[in-house]
Structure 1
């Protein structure tokens, strides 16, 4: 969800892309605690245009698959006009996940609960990062939360969100307020004969 949410509204009807530049991508990565562990486990990570493009490619695939999940409801208006076909999105996501060969390992500390860890033979932190993003998306799209995924259709909103209760229509309260104000405006305008 964090990767998909790098496309957001700017509050004035436009769309912002946190991954629009190498610098923006680097800032976003630094704010992701789990990803910084992946990237630094094998050494430093240098964000360049190639890595930025790979991350944006995974995001495009995930947003296309999110649009498929929320269908037949409309997808996010941010990229509804330029979504890649679902088969291409699946191929891109699976290829990105396969960039890092991993083996599950059982970790079981004394007095603790057993947990699974992925052991990687990959030394390139860039490949590890892109693969980790893709694996997270695969886990989400194949898991139970997928059924609660929705696109927010408040005016100017472009987010996807996980519905927390059955009647939730918007990603956050401010979007609900904007939607109610817009509906009120439309009703008032329709009722005014002048």
Structure 2
């Protein structure tokens, strides 16, 4: 069984996955409005500071959406030579611009190292927190994305290319091609129909 993904990995992936298939052939955006952002933050209370009382506004939403575009652009670059998610690949900023956006967002809230003593881990655990308290949401997410993209999990990042799927995922074993079993089933059915169509044409 795989260990739980580190918080930085979860946050970076989950931010990218706020762009998803809508179930009807299109793409949905979980961060379409401030209420969507607030709900997403509350759903990540274990990984984000002050999440339970978070109130989203239009500037915060714009900052997080801009950051998400940068993260998805860098995910598209990270999965090469594989193809990126088809959801927004044609609309993403170029890599230099994405890097500039990501680094600028991360710099808005400096962090300091902290040490926690975790009884379950039987020893000290290094972490970090925003200097001076809470911090800018986009900065916290940018720092998580940087930690993920600079870390070992990035090499397992893939785009799922099952029909209608637009997700990124971490490849857990060498033969894994899709983000989840239902996508694998859909891809096999689509291949079967395509072979059948070619033989009957």
Q: Conserved in 2, the CA contact under 8 Å of 1:6 and 1:17?
A: yes
Q: Deviations over 1:8-31 (max 9, x none)?
A: 101221111100111111111111
Q: Deviations over 1:110-129 (max 9, x none)?
A: 99511223243345x461x2
Matched, 1:131 2:142: no
Bigger-Rg structure (1/2) = 1
Alignment match, 1:121? 131
Alignment match, 2:162? 154
The secondary structure found in structure 2 opposite 1:107 is: strand
Q: TM-score, normalised by structure 2?
A: 0.86
Alignment match, 1:55? 64
Q: TM-score, normalised by structure 1?
A: 0.89
Matched, 1:178 2:189: no
Q: Residue 81 of structure 1: which of 90, 94, 111 is its match? A: 90
Structure 2, unaligned runs of 5 or more: 1-12
Q: Conserved in 2, the CA contact under 8 Å of 1:104 and 1:116?
A: yes
**How many correspondences in the alignment?**
188
Q: How does 1:92-107 map to 2 (within 5 A)?
A: 92-107=101-116
CA RMSD of aligned residues (A): 2.0
Q: Conserved in 1, the CA contact under 8 Å of 2:78 and 2:154?
A: yes
Alignment match, 2:50? 39
In structure 1, C-alpha distance between the alignment counterparts of 2:118 and 2:175, rounded to whole Å:
42
- What is the Cα deviation at residue 167 of structure 1? 0.9
